[in-house]
Chain A
Amino acid sequence: MIELKGVTRRFGDAVAVDNIDLTIETGEVCVLVGSSGCGKSTTLRMINRLLPRTSGEILVDGEDINKADPEALRLNMGYAIQSTGLFPHWTVARNIGVVPDLLKWPTHKRDERVSELLTLLGLDPATDAIKYPHQLSGGQAQRVGVARALAGDPNILLMDEPFGALDAITRENLQQEMLRIQRQLSKTTVFVTHDIDEALKLATRIAVMDQGRIIQHDTPEAILRRPASAFVENLIGKGDRGLKLLALRTVGDVMERYPRPRQSDPLTEGLKETDSLRAALSVMVWQNSDQLPVLSEAGDAVGTVKREQLLQGGV
C-alpha cells in the first residue's frame, strides 16, 4: 500500500504538486491522468525518491520512505519511463537483468527470468535478447523498458507513460499485455498517462490531476458517471461517455452461457469473451444483427449475446 499525505513539491516558487492525498491499495492499479505539466511525473518520482518532497508524508506499507535506504526502496519498485532510458551499451538481456544483477540473483535464475519476461512481453528470447537498444523499434524498446521494470519481481510498479509515443495498434497491444500481466501478477501500480482511454482501460482507480492537485480519485465507472467537475467532464469527453462506459465491460460479463460448447457456423462472425461491449456493439451495428455467438479460442460457440443485454450492460 502506498499512502501520500499532504504531499507538496515546489520548484523554486512554482508549485508542481500541491498538498495531495492519495492512497493506493495493494494490488491496485492507480492511474494518474491530467494535462501536460499538471504534476503527474513529479508525483511518481517522489514515490521512488528520485525527487525529494518539499513537505508531507509518503508511506509504503506504513513506513515512511525517507526512513528507508533509497537504493533498497527503488530495487523494490519497478520503474519504466516513456523515453525508456535503456542502457545503450548493454544488450536487451543485460538491460532486463539489471535489477536481478543488483539484487545478486544467481546467474541461472536471472537468465531464466530474462527469457520468461521476453516471452511475456512478446519478444523473442533467442533473437531479441542479444540486440542492442539502438537495434530495436520504438515499440520493442518500450516493451524492454516494461520488462526491465518487472524483472526484479518488485512489489510496486511505477510507470510514467510507458506506452506513450507509440502508434495506436502497438499501444493497444501493450495495454492488453499490461492487463494480462496485471491479472497474473497483481502488482501495486502507479501508472501515469495523459490518455483518458488508456486510463479507463487499465485503472482500478483513476486520480485526475490538474495544476498539481487531485480533482477526483475514483473508479473508472464512477469517474464516467459522476465527474466531479467541468474539468473532469471535459477530460472524459461528454460526447461518447456512454460508449466509454460500454468499453469498461466485456462480453463475458453479460453473455448467456451455453451448458456446453456447440459447433458454430463458420460463416457467422462471432465475438470473444474478452471483447469489450463497445466493440461488440460495433460489430452488431455493422452486421445489423440482434444477437451474436460468443466463440472460444478454439472456435466453438460457448454462448450468445443479445443486443438488449449489451445495452443494459452499460447501465
Chain B
Amino acid sequence: MRPWLAPVALIAVLCALAALLPAMAPLFSWVEPNTDSLIYTRDSFWFLLQSHIWLVLVSATIGTLVAVSAGIFVTRPAGRDFLPLVSQVASIGQTVPPVAVLALAVPAMGFGEKPTLLALVLYGLLPILRNTLAGLGGINPAVLESAKGMGMSSAQVLFKVELPLAGRVILAGIRTSVTINIATAAIGSTIGARTLGDPVIAGLVNGNTAYVVQGAILIGLLALATDSLFEAIERAWGRTFSI
C-alpha cells in the first residue's frame, strides 16, 4: 500500500486547496496588498480544476489509444513498411514546442476547447508513440520466437507477451505525455479553453500576482499528484509482471 500513499495525499491536498483557496484571502494580501480582489472569482477553482483534468484526461485517452495502436500496427508484418516513417515523425514531432501546436490549431478550428483538445492530443501522441515503439522493439527476439514457436497466435503473442513486457515503457511514455499536457492545457487558456491557466492569464493581464500564484499552485499540485500517481502505477505494474 505504501506506494499509493503519496498520490492519495497529494490528491487530497489538491482537492482541499481547490475548495478552500477562496477562504484564504487574508494570506494573499501579503502578495498583493494594494487591491480588494485577492481571490480569482470569475469561475470557481473547483470548476477550473475539473475542466483542466477533463481536457487532459480526454486528450490522454485518445492519444494513448491512437499512439499505442499505431505503435502496434507498425511493428506487425502488415505495417512494418511504415515503421521508419512513423518513428521519424515521433522523434521530430517532439522538437516542435507545444505553443506552436496551439497556435496552429486556432486557424484550423477557431477558439475554445476544441483546438486545445486537438493540440493536446497531437502533442501528447508523440511520447507515447516513441515509447510504444521502444518498448515493443526492446523485447528479446528469442522470447518472441519461442512464443510463436510454442504455438501462440499473433494476438496471444501481443497480449500475453509483448504488451506486458513493453507495458512499463509505454506507461512511462503516457506519464511524460500527461505531465507535458497538464502544462500545455494551461496555455490553452490563451485560446479560450477553461483551465487552471485562466487565473494565471488574468493575473498577468491585470497585474494581479495573487491570481497568478493561485493558478500556479493548483497547476503545480495537479502535475505533482499525477506524476506520483503514475509512479505508483508503474511500480504496481512492475510487481504484477515482475520486471
The answer to whether B145 touches A50, judged by C-beta atoms less than 8 angstroms apart, is yes
Q: Number of A residues whose C-beta is below 8 Å from B?
A: 25
The stretch from B150-158, B176-184, B215-223 touching chain A is B150-158
- The complex places the Cα of A158 from the Cα of B242 at a distance, in Å, of 29
The answer to whether B151 touches A84, judged by C-beta atoms less than 8 angstroms apart, is no
Interface residue? A242 (CB, 8 A): no
- Give the residue of B147, B148, B149, B153 whose beta carbon is less than 8 angstroms from that of A87: B147
- The complex places the Cα of A244 from the Cα of B152 at a distance, in Å, of 41
- The complex places the Cα of A214 from the Cα of B153 at a distance, in Å, of 33
The answer to whether B152 touches A85, judged by C-beta atoms less than 8 angstroms apart, is no
- Where the two chains meet, the residues of B that have a C-beta atom closer than 8 Å to any C-beta of A are 140, 142-153, 156, 161, 164-165, 241-243
- Give the residue of A83, A89, A148, A152 whose beta carbon is less than 8 angstroms from that of B142: A83
Q: Which residues of A contact B161 (CB under 8 A)?
A: 87, 89
The chain B residue with its CB closest to the CB of A158 is: B149
The answer to whether B151 touches A71, judged by C-beta atoms less than 8 angstroms apart, is yes
- The complex places the Cα of A145 from the Cα of B144 at a distance, in Å, of 14
Q: Which residues of B contact A158 (CB under 8 A)?
A: 149
- The complex places the Cα of A132 from the Cα of B165 at a distance, in Å, of 14
Given known contacts A87-B161, A88-B143, is B242 in contact with A148 (CB within 8 Å)?
A: no
- Where the two chains meet, the residues of A that have a C-beta atom closer than 8 Å to any C-beta of B are 48, 50, 71-75, 79, 81, 83-89, 91, 98-99, 102, 132, 145, 148, 152, 158
The answer to whether B149 touches A79, judged by C-beta atoms less than 8 angstroms apart, is yes
The chain B residue with its CB closest to the CB of A154 is: B151
The number of residue pairs between A and B whose CB atoms lie closer than 8 Å in the complex comes to 65
The answer to whether A132 touches B242, judged by C-beta atoms less than 8 angstroms apart, is yes
Given known contacts A50-B148, A74-B151, is B143 in contact with A87 (CB within 8 Å)?
A: yes
- The complex places the Cα of A222 from the Cα of B159 at a distance, in Å, of 49
The answer to whether A85 touches B243, judged by C-beta atoms less than 8 angstroms apart, is no
Q: How far is the CB of B22 from chain A (nearest CB, A)?
A: 49
The answer to whether A148 touches B150, judged by C-beta atoms less than 8 angstroms apart, is yes
- Give the residue of B148, B164, B165 whose beta carbon is less than 8 angstroms from that of A74: B148
The answer to whether B150 touches A102, judged by C-beta atoms less than 8 angstroms apart, is yes
- The complex places the Cα of A73 from the Cα of B140 at a distance, in Å, of 24
The answer to whether A98 touches B150, judged by C-beta atoms less than 8 angstroms apart, is yes
Q: How far is the CB of B139 from chain A (nearest CB, A)?
A: 9
The answer to whether B150 touches A89, judged by C-beta atoms less than 8 angstroms apart, is no
The answer to whether B241 touches A79, judged by C-beta atoms less than 8 angstroms apart, is no
Given known contacts A85-B140, A132-B242, is B145 in contact with A99 (CB within 8 Å)?
A: no
The answer to whether B142 touches A84, judged by C-beta atoms less than 8 angstroms apart, is yes
Please give 17 more A-B residue pairs, beta carbons under 8 A apart, in addition to A83-B142, A84-B142, A86-B143.
A50-B148, A71-B151, A71-B152, A71-B153, A72-B151, A81-B142, A81-B145, A85-B143, A85-B146, A86-B146, A87-B143, A87-B147, A88-B140, A88-B243, A89-B241, A98-B150, A98-B152
The answer to whether A99 touches B151, judged by C-beta atoms less than 8 angstroms apart, is yes
Q: Which residues of B contact A85 (CB under 8 A)?
A: 140, 142-147, 149
Q: Which residues of A contact B148 (CB under 8 A)?
A: 50, 74
The answer to whether B242 touches A79, judged by C-beta atoms less than 8 angstroms apart, is no
- The complex places the Cα of A36 from the Cα of B233 at a distance, in Å, of 46
- The complex places the Cα of A91 from the Cα of B164 at a distance, in Å, of 14
Q: Which residues of A contact B140 (CB under 8 A)?
A: 83, 85, 88
Q: Which residues of B contact A79 (CB under 8 A)?
A: 146, 149-150
- The complex places the Cα of A251 from the Cα of B156 at a distance, in Å, of 49
Q: Which residues of A contact B146 (CB under 8 A)?
A: 79, 81, 84-87, 145
- The complex places the Cα of A165 from the Cα of B214 at a distance, in Å, of 63
Given known contacts A74-B148, A79-B150, is B156 in contact with A89 (CB within 8 Å)?
A: no
- The complex places the Cα of A88 from the Cα of B165 at a distance, in Å, of 8
Name 29 interchain pairs, CB-CB below 8 A, sorted by A: A50-B145, A50-B149, A71-B152, A71-B153, A72-B151, A73-B151, A74-B151, A75-B150, A79-B149, A81-B145, A83-B142, A85-B143, A85-B144, A85-B145, A85-B146, A86-B143, A88-B143, A88-B165, A88-B242, A88-B243, A89-B164, A89-B241, A89-B242, A91-B242, A99-B150, A99-B151, A102-B150, A102-B151, A102-B156
Q: How far is the CB of B151 from chain A (nearest CB, A)?
A: 4
Q: Which residues of A contact B164 (CB under 8 A)?
A: 89
- The complex places the Cα of A145 from the Cα of B145 at a distance, in Å, of 13
Identify the 4 closest CB pairs spanning chains A and B, nearest first: A85-B146, A75-B151, A79-B149, A74-B151
The chain A residue with its CB closest to the CB of B143 is: A85
- The complex places the Cα of A48 from the Cα of B151 at a distance, in Å, of 9
Q: Which residues of A contact B156 (CB under 8 A)?
A: 102
- The complex places the Cα of A145 from the Cα of B148 at a distance, in Å, of 14
Given known contacts A88-B243, A89-B241, A102-B156, is B142 in contact with A48 (CB within 8 Å)?
A: no
Q: Which residues of B contact A88 (CB under 8 A)?
A: 140, 143, 165, 242-243
The chain A residue with its CB closest to the CB of B145 is: A85
Q: Which residues of A contact B242 (CB under 8 A)?
A: 88-89, 91, 132
Q: Which residues of B contact A86 (CB under 8 A)?
A: 143, 146
Q: Which residues of B contact A50 (CB under 8 A)?
A: 145, 148-149
